[in-house]
Structure 1
């Protein structure tokens, strides 16, 4: 079986996929792109017409898998060769919750973060910074579901670390890096510290950073 190819930008949502691969012990061909790739690596559009990252390619030609959603890729890598402890199977305790929090991570939590970043950071010269900060408040209010779920729990589902934690955890990691941490509850900051202390997370982060620095050094 050939290695899946993962195209991503360092510290982007693709970190979920890199992290999941490290946790699952799946060897991937990691290819770091400059951000934003649609402008700085236009050749990538031949691989993904959306110009977005991550992109996972697993298998040759039309018969191979091609995936562009970070949470789906993380689940796929955790179950690529059968269910592992990183995923929760149908019929297992907390299966519904596992599905719910995995989807909740991007649809409800990361979404307002990306709007905040666009209007308040990347395009603040367009006069939409106020709208960006409104989405920041939306993000902080939407954390209540995760906060309540983790009361008395170390992880979100089935008393173990799963892809749901990777997906939700990334949103908290992103909050710290883009200036949204002030509204994150202390309990979720402690949860984030537990997640980022994991050896597989450190390997994933450092692997992406190593390629990012090499890319920048080469112009």
Structure 2
């Protein structure tokens, strides 16, 4: 019997990343839409994610939170989708997936909040400086179609989402390497399906 796959999200959240990954797997899933400050903080959902944030997935009895972890889990749970690279390319897969989830996200968030690491404290910050994080990201994608090996993987979903969002909203620098990498993956059918679904769930703007 196939285990039920449930996706907890809000369309105006990082749940868009997990949605893209779910669409890439081709696996059927149920969606539960949660609202900030109400159902996201209700006891039923806090039992799923004590942080009271989305996204999260429940696959049978397994619960996974955090976008990068969801991407990696789904790649392993649905191997037929081919979203985890072969062993020879797992090093880049793990390296850049966790780089984007850790140092890159910290650097982008802090810059968006107007926080700059003092020059004499960069050794204490996991990302050093925003510029160093941008240089690391550029090294990850320069001259590549995919971030790990010669085929698309879950790491491209996560890293690509960070770059696509950053380019659209100005939270990362518009370097040619970023624009080229994003242009190579942003027309994937699964990405476009996910965007269409989430756009349809957005609150309607009053005219």
> How does the TM-score come out when normalised to structure 2?
0.81
- 1:192 corresponds in structure 2 to 182
Distance 1:73 1:187 in 2: 26
Query: 1:213 offset after TM fit, Å?
Result: 3.1
- 2:57 corresponds in structure 1 to 56
Query: 1:49 offset after TM fit, Å?
Result: 2.0
SS class of match (2:11): coil
Distance 1:87 1:191 in 2: 19
Query: Between Structure 1 and Structure 2, which shows a larger proportion of helix residues?
Result: 1
SS class of match (1:93): helix
Distance 1:73 1:186 in 2: 29
Q: Deviations over 1:83-136 (max 9, x none)?
A: 6421024xx22111111111111101122223344x3xxxxxxxxxx426989x
Contact 2:85 2:151 in 1 (8 A): no
RMSD: 2.6
Gaps of 5+ in 2: 119-124
Distance 1:115 1:158 in 2: 31
Q: Report whether the alignment pairs 1:71 with 2:55.
A: no
CA distance 1:176–1:14, shift in 2 (3 Å) = same
Distance 1:112 1:85 in 2: 31
Distance 2:196 2:164 in 1: 15
Distance 2:12 2:177 in 1: 23
Q: 1:160 aligns with which of 134, 143, 151?
A: 151
SS class of match (1:49): coil
Query: 1:53 offset after TM fit, Å?
Result: 1.3
- 1:113 corresponds in structure 2 to 108
Contact 1:32 1:208 in 2 (8 A): no
> How does the TM-score come out when normalised to structure 1?
0.77
SS class of match (1:131): coil
- 1:19 corresponds in structure 2 to 20
